[in-house]
Amino acid sequence: MSEAAVEEPAGTLVLAERRGGVLVLTLNRPERLNAWNEEIEAAYFALLDEAEADPEVRAVVVTGAGRGFCAGADMEVLAQVGGDVETEGIASQRPRHRPLLFRKPLVAALNGAAAGLGLVEALYCDVRFATAEAKLTTSFARRGLIAEYGIAWLLPRLVGQSRALDLLLSARVVRGEEALGMGLVDRVVGPEDLLEAAVAYAQDLAEACSPMSMAVIKSQVLQALDTDFATATSEAERQMLASFRRPDVVEGVASYLEGRPPVFEGLALD
């Protein structure tokens, strides 16, 4: 994915724009508040695959076109689901938690509604920026659905059990400032500054942090959610010794001592 290819054609479901080492992905169904369907999922996941394989891409920011981030599953598609729905097709789809496994930093810029599956996709990101007026809701209970796509695992780890149950049982709307207070988002900025703030954060990661270090740290955090302290410490010691054998440590220390920005190698697939 070359930096020269600044933006995909306007008709595509996910726009891609390179800003140095940062790739900005924009869900692009503004007339439907970027409601999720199989086509937008396939486009988004394919671009994540490309970004993961491209050493020049150091971080990704995902946002939505128009007034919303993602209003959740497309209701026209959901309306076709009945009591006798076939589950074979659903089970054979690519796992929706693919973004959670993305090895590079993934930053969400929530410019409006993030509901149901749209909220889940935001929670799959590592860091979330939002506007004060952004509307976040789990939605599921008000649609006769259950806590889908791993949100029952993710949400308590972000906001605690009682707050997670509040958000899941009531499916009430939470705006940006309340979401910040409970840890559902990490930054609240003005709507005119949202994307630039998220990109600036991602650019700092891209320019100042080791891609390999960030990939290992993401893996450590995810694994540690289901391990005890002793196991996490043992894994950290193993990863620490492995890091000493990589050039990033030499460069990281040298750049600090020399008072210059580090020059780390890009992350390539194994």
Q: What is the per-residue pLDDT across 50-78, written as a single tens digit (0 to 9) for each? A: 999 999 999 999 999 999 999 998 876 66
Q: pLDDT-based confidence at 87, cuts 50/70/90?
A: very low
220-253: buried (b, 16+ CB within 10 Å) or exposed (e) per residue? Answer: eeeeeeeeeeeeeeebeeeeeeeeeebebeeebe
Mean pLDDT estimate for the chain: 90
pLDDT per residue as tens digits for the range 120-130: 999 999 999 99
The residue to which tokens 């930054």 are assigned: 187
- Report the residue count for the chain: 270
Query: The pTM is what?
Result: 0.89
**CATH architecture observed for domain 14-207:** Alpha-Beta Complex (3.90)
Other CB atoms within a 10 A radius of the CB of residue 148 amount to 17
Bridge partners of residue 27, in order along the sequence: 14, 64
Return d(Cα 62, Cα 49) in angstroms, integer.
14
- How many of the other CB atoms lie within 10 Å of CB of 80? 8
